[in-house]
Amino acid sequence: MLNVSNVTKRYADKVAVDSVSFGVQKGRIFGLLGPNGAGKTSTIRMIAFITTPDEGEIRLDDRPVGSWSQQTMGYLPEERGLYRKMKVGDQLQYLARLKGLSAAEATAAVRHWLDRFDASDWYDKKVEELSKGMQQKVQFIATVAHEPTLLIFDEPFSGLDPINADLLRDVILELKEAGRTILFASHRMEQVEQLCDDICLISDGRSLVQGSLREVKSAYGRNVLRMEYDGTPNFLDRMQGSGKISVISRTEHRAELRLLDGTLSRSILQQAMDELDAIYRFELVEPSLNEIFISVVSTTGQGSKQPQGSRTGSAA
Amino acid sequence: MNTLAVIAQREYVQRVTSKGFIIGTLVGPIVMIAIIVVPVLFLVAFQDQSSKTIAVIDESGALYEELEFPIDFDLVASEAPVDTLRSHVLGGKINGYLILPETLLRGEGGAAFYSGGGGGFILSTQVQQAVNRAVRQRRVLMTGADKTVLDILHHDVGVDMIKISDEGDQADSAAALAGIGYGMGFVIYVCMFIYGAFVMRGVIEEKTNRIAELMASSARPFDLMLGKVLGIGAMGLTQFLTWCILGMTIMAFGGTVAALFVDPNDYGLGQVDNQQALLDAAGITIPQLPFSAFVLFVLFFVGGYLLYASLFAAVGSAVDQESDAQQFVLPIAAPIIIPMLLISHVIENPDSSISLWLSMVPFFSPILMTVRIAATSVPFWQTVLSLLLLGGAFLGSIWISSRIYRVGILMYGKKPSFADIARWIRQG
């Protein structure tokens, strides 16, 4: 549905997005993940046709994005903002009309969504009279009221109170059920991990890893081991010393380790049974996205696991 | 309805329905009138009512009774020594003393007026006129001429100024029209700043409210900017036309008002119904501008607004808060202020070639062409050329401004330099 191909964006003194490509399929939730300053917002702004790429192309339903595509998108920017002096109803109606709805359609849509959020009585209130949490709800409605087919959320959970965060999660899943396509950008990987179908990890303007969440995780294998036990696991020190494992975290009765280069979990279990008094837990788990990200950044530094297009020599 | 119209409509409706607008529109003229009327009332209330005492040493013995001074002068014939009078002046007993030597009657020498100073220009003019008149009168009588000669001497001939134009001859009230032209130029000057600042503040508000990015994801920056300029322009025009209607109502009843202050008996007309006849007799004409001049005034007003408002929008987009805008406002304010400095030249010489070419320069024409239209009959081609140049300048300025705007509205934090802005324009 959405295709970003070899997109590059340069600002005065730096390359914000460096030849990034990815595709978002209809009806799925796509996560564009990476630390602050990785180029997520720059990428999203080009998709939303707020800025244009210096190189490469962005297509929505096989047409280059433009003013037409703005009307089929809903965008929740990281910087939230509304007209403070305007009434909630007027404001939402105005924003929906800018997205191509007629006055009557816009009014109906705004009423519907205010009802959905138990906020019908806000219609005639000015935005500045609302609490911050209420303003956040108004902001969601502005993003979804015109029934966009593609929804773009930049750091959707930042600044939300827990109640609104849950509400937003529900709404996002509901929108997915209804067949909408959703694109996230976030640096809080653990927060959006469960929501995403597909991901693209980016850092320093480059795409490092991408694919469905399943694929990415299985590519990194079940190579994280969690143990809970009583006793003294001297073997862990020996194995780490010989480069068979690396310890992610370790406390008195608990350890989390990564298996390196074909180390079999069986051999560890064997030694554990020999040396420990009791074993309560021995589990091979998938690495979290955060761990994958850190390991990709640290091991590749240059380039990525799945190289995307050509690279023109710019500093990483 | 297209995006541009939706944006302009919001700007217009939000503003016109605000309390500030309604109050401003109704109170504005009252404040304007107060600015004009209060100083006049102030002058009247504190006018120097005390009469001035002037001692006259009439050495000719024939001039004193001929002296005619306004009623707030007390003349005293005196034969006291000059030193005494001098000390009276210094002591504040009299305002001054006038010495009329005998030689005046032979057309030789001159009179002298001694005062403590500070009487001002009016006082010296009054003394001079009174002495001249008295000497002239006395000398004519001394030749044995009869009274008709005196009448001839004191009769002032009025010269009627008639302006010839295609619409027929009419009284040329050049001075009054120049005044109206100045007034209209001044209105445009003030409005450029007021409405331009509205646009600038509107853009800054969208940045500080952080809604600019959401807007940019819904509409083209060009539409956002032009919509705002048009919406606020429509608000300005609403306000302006309201004031015009109020003003024209006052003009229409202006004759009636002026007639209230004119007593028909002074002109030997008795009780008359016809105000026009009364005003004609009193020599008062309320100057009327042709309707076409009014239309052109509105066109130049709108053109000037569009030109400057788009530049103000660009400035607003480049800064985060109003206090940062000063350095960028200056280059825009200068071309608005310059014509105000040139306006008196244009009023005095509306047909000079300098006035002609100044009124063609797009940044100056809204003010200077309006002044010329009021003050003289401007050839049609000049008006059209001036308007076309203004329109062309507007297209250029909105093109440049929209390039600044699209980058500026997403920029936070660092205040850009002129060099940064030049780069935004180049890169688009």
pLDDT digits (tens, 9 = 90+) for A5-48: 999 998 877 889 999 999 999 999 999 998 888 899 999 999 99
Is residue A176 a contact partner of residue A27, using CB atoms and an 8 Å limit?
Answer: yes
Which segment, B35-39, B117-121, B381-385, is predicted with the most confidence on average? B381-385
Identify the pLDDT of residue A305.
38
Residues from chain B contacting residue A45 (CB–CB below 8 Å): 213, 410
Nearest to A136 by CA among A96, A82, A87: A82
Q: Do A98 and B7 touch (CB under 8 A)?
A: yes
Give me the mean pLDDT over the B284-294 stretch. Answer: 68
Residue B143 class from Cβ within 10 Å (0-12 exposed, 13-18 middle, 19+ buried)? exposed
Pick the CATH number of A2-217 from 3.40.50.300, 2.40.30.10, 1.10.10.10, 3.40.50.1100: 3.40.50.300
B201 in contact with chain A, both atoms CB, cutoff 8 A: no
Instruction: For the domain made up of A222-285, give the CATH fold.
Output: Alpha-Beta Plaits (3.30.70)
Give A303's pLDDT tier (boundaries 50, 70, 90): very low
**Which chain A residue shows the shortest CA-CA distance from B210?**
A81
- Is pLDDT at B427 greater than 80 in this prediction? no
The proportion of chain B whose per-residue pLDDT surpasses 90, expressed as a percent, equals: 20
What is the rounded CA–CA span in Å between residue B377 and residue B365? Answer: 16
Strand A14-24 to A2-11 pairing: antiparallel
Which residue from A67, A81, A102 is facing B214, i.e. has the nearest CB? A81
- Is pLDDT at B118 greater than 90 in this prediction? no
Identify the pLDDT of residue A228.
93
Q: Do A50 and B6 touch (CB under 8 A)?
A: no
Give me the mean pLDDT over the A114-138 stretch. Answer: 89
Please state the φ and ψ torsions of residue B394, each to the nearest 5 degrees. -65, -45
What is the rounded CA–CA span in Å between residue A175 and residue A143? Answer: 12
Displacement of CA A11 from its chain's centroid (Å): 24
In terms of pLDDT, which residue wins out, A135 or A262? A135
Give me the mean pLDDT over the B240-248 stretch. Answer: 80
Identify the pLDDT of residue B280.
61
Give B70's pLDDT tier (boundaries 50, 70, 90): confident
Please state the φ and ψ torsions of residue A41, each to the nearest 5 degrees. -65, -40
Residues from chain A contacting residue B211 (CB–CB below 8 Å): 81-83
Which part of chain A is CATH 3.30.70? 222-285
Strand B52-58 to B73-77 pairing: parallel
Identify the pLDDT of residue A314.
33
Give A313's pLDDT tier (boundaries 50, 70, 90): very low
Give me the mean pLDDT over the B132-153 stretch. Answer: 83
Mapped onto helix, strand or coil, the DSSP state of residue A191 is: helix
Which part of chain A is CATH 3.40.50.300? 2-217
Which segment, A108-122, A188-202, B287-301, is predicted with the most confidence on average? A108-122
Give B169's pLDDT tier (boundaries 50, 70, 90): low
Give me the mean pLDDT over the A272-300 stretch. Answer: 83
Identify the pLDDT of residue A136.
86
Is residue A178 a contact partner of residue A149, using CB atoms and an 8 Å limit?
Answer: no
Q: Do A84 and B218 touch (CB under 8 A)?
A: no
Identify the pLDDT of residue B268.
53
Domain boundaries, chain B: 52-153, 174-251+267-427
Which residue from B211, B216, B410 is facing A82, i.e. has the nearest CB? B211
Q: Do A82 and B209 touch (CB under 8 A)?
A: yes
B425 in contact with chain A, both atoms CB, cutoff 8 A: no
Other residues' Cβ atoms within 10 Å of the Cβ of residue B274: 10
Instruction: For the domain made up of B52-153, give the CATH fold.
Output: D-Maltodextrin-Binding Protein; domain 2 (3.40.190)
- Strands (DSSP E) contained in B50-105 are 52-58, 73-77, 96-100
